[in-house]
């Protein structure tokens, strides 16, 4: 079992300069305490996403850490020019000496996509065209855009990635078909769904991966959960009930403002989220027991904690991260060890 962090970079309570510095200090803790990777979301026009340009934040992370891997979960691919994105990916991978992880999607929030003048109905087609071009350019050092006229239909990348053929790729999984697609390509995955749904995807992933790749080591299949750890259950639950609504306000802001439906809804209070099995707040023992059940039930081999969210103070975050690393992670390391091998 390995451990990662998912982060929306949401903020509605601190001056931005202070927020960025506090979050970078927490990320330094992830680096020092043995987390595998930090995954940052891309959002726009809402307090949910204070890293609307993930690559700028990732460049700072590259300089503030030494071992931690990091990357987007995910780039909203239709908002990028493929050439610029390939060049920036290569820069980040070189600046970190090969610690970048890359995730791509069409954009989880159609209302945000619209602000860029992009038709959400076209994003799937754009994603399917652009992703192979970006990955091919990273692998070969040549970006090909056949729609362009010569001599602009081909461009040689002077900055190429450190990792070959390119950094590890991540994919958000919500259905068996998407899990099988990721397995065919050998990509890592993260699911935010209920444990039973994640297990169905993971089983399909394993079967397809063995068919295609044989005895090759399994990639990471992550399960994402909101997590708060404190000295007592009561203290952790009080923090969660206070902090989570701040996160939820940012998560739903644009949908409420524009009268749209969120295709990935979340409950508006902590107790309902916990009841769905998608979040836990408690002492280290409580959190370890909850996550042990969730990870075993889902057959995941990568525990992805969303620890920093809402209006938590720096001291609350620091305590949660420290307790999670010191007292929770050791209890979970052996789960599904035989499945991760």
Instruction: Give the CATH number, domain containing residue 160.
Output: 3.20.20.30
What is the structure's pLDDT at 336?
64
Judge contact between 84 and 95, C-beta under 8 A.
no
Q: Is the pLDDT of residue 312 over 60?
A: yes
Q: Find tokens 């995941």 and name the residue.
A: 300
Q: Find tokens 């071009």 and name the residue.
A: 133
What is the structure's pLDDT at 148?
86
What is the structure's pLDDT at 341?
43
Q: Per-residue pLDDT averaged across 318-324, rounded? A: 98
Q: Is the pLDDT of residue 340 over 70?
A: no
Q: What would the pLDDT profile of 112-121 be if each residue is shown by its tens digit?
A: 999 999 999 9
Per DSSP, the residues of 162-216 read: SSSS-S-EEEE--SHHHHHHHHHHT-EEEE-S-HHHHHHHHHHHHHHHHHHHTTS
State what percent of residues in the chain have pLDDT above 70. Answer: 98
Taking the CA atoms of residue 138, residue 340, residue 302 and residue 213 in that order, the dihedral angle to the nearest 10 degrees is 30
Per DSSP, the residues of 58-77 read: HHHHHHH-SS-EEEES-EEG
CA–CA distance, 340 with 70 (Å, rounded to integer): 21
Whether 42 maps to a domain, the answer reads yes
Q: What is the mean pLDDT of the chain?
A: 95
Whether 177 maps to a domain, the answer reads no
Q: Of 168, 184, 207, which residue sits at a domain end?
A: 168
Residues 161 and 103 in one domain: yes
Q: Per-residue pLDDT averaged across 231-242, rounded? A: 98
Whether 190 maps to a domain, the answer reads no
Total structural domains within the chain? 2
Residues 25 and 79 in one domain: no
What is the structure's pLDDT at 261?
81
What is the structure's pLDDT at 264?
78
Q: Is the pLDDT of residue 96 over 90?
A: yes
Q: Is the pLDDT of residue 338 over 50?
A: no
Residues 140 and 48 in one domain: yes
Q: Per-residue pLDDT averaged across 168-179, rounded? A: 96
Q: Is the pLDDT of residue 315 over 60?
A: yes
Range of the domain at 138: 37-168
Q: Of 168, 185, 206, which residue sits at a domain end?
A: 168
Whether 87 maps to a domain, the answer reads yes
Q: Per-residue pLDDT averaged across 207-230, rounded? A: 97
Taking the CA atoms of residue 309, residue 71, residue 32 and residue 191 in that order, the dihedral angle to the nearest 10 degrees is 60
Q: What would the pLDDT profile of 251-297 be if each residue is shown by its tens digit?
A: 999 989 988 888 778 999 999 999 999 999 999 999 999 999 999 99
Whether 337 maps to a domain, the answer reads yes
Label residue 108 by pLDDT band (50, 70, 90): confident
């Amino acid at each position: 079992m390995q451990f990662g962090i998912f982060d929306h970079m949401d903020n509605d309570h601190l001056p931005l300069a202070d927020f960025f510095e506090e979050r970078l200090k927490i990320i330094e803790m992830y680096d020092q305490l043995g987390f595998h990777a930090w995954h940052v979301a891309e959002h726009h026009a809402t307090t949910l996403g204070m890293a609307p340009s993930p690559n700028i934040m990732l460049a700072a992370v590259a300089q503030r850490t030494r071992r931690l891997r990091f990357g987007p979960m995910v780039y909203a691919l239709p908002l990028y020019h493929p050439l610029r994105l390939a060049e920036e990916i290569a820069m980040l991978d070189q600046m970190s000496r090969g610690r970048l992880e890359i995730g791509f999607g069409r954009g989880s929030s159609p209302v945000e996509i619209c602000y860029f003048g992009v038709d959400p109905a076209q994003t799937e087609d754009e994603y399917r065209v652009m992703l192979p071009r970006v990955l091919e350019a990273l692998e070969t050092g040549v970006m090909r855009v056949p729609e362009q006229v010569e001599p602009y239909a081909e461009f040689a990348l002077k900055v190429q990635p450190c990792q070959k053929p390119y950094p590890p790729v991540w994919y958000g999984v919500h259905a068996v078909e998407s899990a099988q697609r990721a397995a065919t390509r050998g990509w890592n995955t993260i699911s935010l769904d209920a444990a039973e749904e994640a297990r169905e995807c993971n089983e399909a992933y394993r079967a397809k991966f063995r068919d295609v790749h044989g005895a090759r080591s399994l990639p990471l299949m992550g399960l994402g959960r909101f997590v708060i750890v404190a000295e007592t259950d009561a203290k952790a639950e009080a923090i969660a009930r206070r902090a989570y609504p701040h996160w939820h306000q940012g998560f739903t802001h644009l949908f409420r403002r524009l009268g749209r439906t969120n295709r990935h809804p979340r409950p508006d209070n902590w107790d309902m989220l916990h009841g769905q099995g998608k979040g836990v707040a408690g002492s280290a023992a409580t959190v370890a027991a909850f996550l042990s059940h969730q990870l075993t039930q889902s057959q995941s081999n990568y525990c992805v904690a969303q620890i920093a969210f809402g209006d938590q103070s720096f001291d609350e975050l620091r305590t949660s991260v420290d307790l999670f690393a010191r007292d929770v992670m050791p209890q979970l390391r052996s789960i599904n060890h035989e499945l991760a091998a």
